[in-house]
Amino acid sequence: MPEVDPLIIEDLTFRYRNRSEPALKHVTLQVPKGELLLVAGASGCGKTTLARCINGLIPRSYKGDLDGMIQVLGQDVSSLPLSHISQMVGTVLQDPERQILGTRVLAEVAFGLENLGWERQRILATAEEALDTMGVLNLRDRETFSLSGGEKQKVALAGVLAMHPQILLLDEPLASLDPASARETLERVRALAEAGMTVLMVEHRVEDVIRYKPDRVMFMSEGEIRYLGPLQGLEKAVNYHEVKLPVKMILPLAAADPPPPPLVSAVEAKPGTAPLVTFQDVAFGYDPEQSVLKGISLTINSGDVIAVLGPNGAGKTTLVKHAIGLLKPKSGQVLIGGKDTQDLSVAEIASNLGYVFQSPSHMLFAPTVQDELEFGPKNLGHPPDEIERDVKRALEIVNLEGMEGDPPLALSFGQQKRVSIAAILAMRSRILVMDEPTAGQDYKNYMQFMHSIMAMPGFEAVLFITHDIDMAVIFANRVLLVAEGRLVADGPPHQVLADQQRLTDCRLVPTTLLQANLENFGRTGAFLRAEALAHAIAPG
């Protein structure tokens, strides 16, 4: 008798209760044992909804009209309790904040095993094995709240792997990971597939996953499967403006199209002005035994567009939280407009610096998107007509028009991220600070809102933490490399990112776009996005 594929989906259609249009339309799919399937597509195309149908969250937690059939390991999921499905299908969510429940790492990874009633020694051994598999056994006794976003993502995946599911469902697992951690995670996922686990990976970082040769790629658009097949042929089926492909795929396509408009930056230097923010030998630790920042000295000046790069746990977010006064140094000084942050309240600083948190659930609270975006400007005393104008403009920039009445926390992770960015844009701060602004975003959306942000008048400086080196290549005029709490490098992107050994030491992996720009810098004299580079290096 032939073996049944672990996952079989037939004519699946689903419409959320509060939506007029279906999120999924007649999806049919079979995934064999040991296959690594990459699921790609723009935000809102139905990827996460498909994942929720497979793991049983639809229709149990997310209500709506569901038609069609899903079989997991030969069993119809509609007749199974969620607890049973979760033992067969392991799910890692986009936002690890929504998945982590335990206060300490070991307790978090052991949680599922304890619910299965396993014997204590077996639980400990299995939990430690899962942590070791993810390369984070050193975090075993850490408190989960003190972990970086990337460390939390690895712990969440370890907790799922400890359950030994036969199907692994990964929803944007690379979103919070530094490039080297993403590479290591992909190596482990590839090994799990080769050992017989069926893996569905929903991911916007298509170029990263392609390096590990997924068995098939599925491209979704407007709730439908538009392409399902091998890697060869993917570039013919997708729009390279919507999905981030390797440069070698993009260049011939872009060269055949009209040249793109130049990127415009309204963030201009004002010669002779004092530094906006100054760090003077700043040191900080969350507890006396652990030093997170070590002797940081730097200035942020008008006209700076700064990308902060470095490995998970390097201190990047801690550094930025000092720049906005959420944290105060244990030694040294941070000056904003020449004033020590020790003497300024967070409210006083907020009128000058707007901060977009790494996890949107840390800053979203209002009942509707409109209320969320109006909250900051109202508290800063902006006139009502300006608030209306600024909120409308912010929604246009992040492509969320028409969602003003939606509850922010009911939106997808990527949409929540855009709401959090819009909330800060509506405040019109002098300095914009963003922590992982592109996490969970498709290529088209993040290029659109970053392009719009850079063109907005009013910002004197922009600073963003990112694991996406291409963000630094395309938008930054200055790069800070942070590792082990120290500032390792500070300078123009073409200088800082040219040192291969330094990138390796900081757990950064050169992208095909960075490599192409470095190879052609003598001809172009600038770092360019792929569409512009194709025309800059074209013959004649």
Query: In this predicted model, what pLDDT tens digit does every residue of 137-174 receive, in sequence order?
Result: 999 999 888 887 778 888 999 999 999 999 999 988 88
Residue 383 — very low, low, confident or very high, per pLDDT cuts 50/70/90? Answer: very high
What is the predicted pLDDT for the residue at 126? Answer: 94
DSSP state of 327: S
233 class by beta-carbon count within 10 Å (0-12 exposed, 13-18 middle, 19+ buried): exposed
Confidence (pLDDT) at 540? 61
Question: Residue 149: left (phi > 0), alpha (psi -120 to 50), or beta?
Answer: alpha
Residues 6+ apart with CB under 8 A from 84: none
Q: Give the pLDDT score at 44.
A: 80
Has residue 293 got a pLDDT over 70?
yes
Angle, vertex CA 434, rays to CA 278 and CA 105, nearest 5:
100
Of residues 470 and 96, which shows the higher confidence score?
A: 470
For residue 49, pLDDT beyond 90:
yes
* Alpha carbon distance 191, 195 (integer Å): 6
10 or 429, higher pLDDT:
10
pLDDT band at 100 (very low <50, low <70, confident <90, very high): confident
> Between residues 333 and 325, which one has the greater pLDDT?
333
Whole-angstrom Cα distance, residue 421 to residue 537? Answer: 35
Superfamily of domain 277-503: P-loop containing nucleotide triphosphate hydrolases (3.40.50.300)
Q: If DSSP codes are grouped into helix, strand and coil, which group holds residue 158?
A: helix
Q: How close are the terminal C-alpha atoms of the chain, in Å?
A: 62
Residue 381, pLDDT score: 87
pLDDT band for position 452 (cuts 50, 70, 90)? confident
Report the predicted TM-score, pTM, of the whole model to 2 decimal places: 0.81
Where in the chain is CATH 3.40.50.300? 7-238, 277-503
**Confidence label for 386 from pLDDT (cuts 50, 70 and 90):** very high
* Residues contacting residue 262 through CB under 8 Å, at least 6 positions apart: 532
pLDDT in tens, 355-367: 888 778 778 889 9
The alpha-carbon radius of gyration of the chain (Å, integer) is 23
- What's the pLDDT score for residue 461? 94
Read off the pLDDT of residues 177-223 as tens digits, 9 standing for 90 and up: 888 888 888 888 999 999 999 999 998 888 889 888 899 999 999 99
Q: Is the pLDDT of residue 38 over 90?
A: yes
- b/e 67-100 (16+ beta carbons within 10 angstroms → b): ebebbbbeeebeeeeeeebbebbbbbbbbbbebb
- pLDDT at position 13 is 97
The rounded mean pLDDT for the chain is: 90
**Coil, strand or helix: which one is 230?**
coil
Which tens digit of pLDDT belongs to each residue from 64-86? Answer: 999 999 999 999 998 899 889 98
The larger pLDDT score, comparing residue 94 to residue 450, is at 450
Q: Are 234 and 214 in contact (CB under 8 A)?
A: no
pLDDT in the model for residue 101:
83
| pLDDT for the residue 229 | 94
> Domain 7-238 classified CATH 3.40.50.300?
yes
Q: What is the pLDDT of residue 2?
A: 61
In order of 100, 346, 360, 374, 433, the CA distances from 349 in angstroms are 31, 5, 20, 18, 12
Residue 506 binned pLDDT confidence (cut-offs 50, 70, 90) = very high
Residue with tokens 């922010």: 408
Lowest-pLDDT range of 10-14, 179-183, 409-413: 409-413
- At 217, which helix (H) or strand (E)? strand 216-221
- Determine which helix (DSSP H) or strand (DSSP E) holds 414, and give its type and residue range: helix 413-425
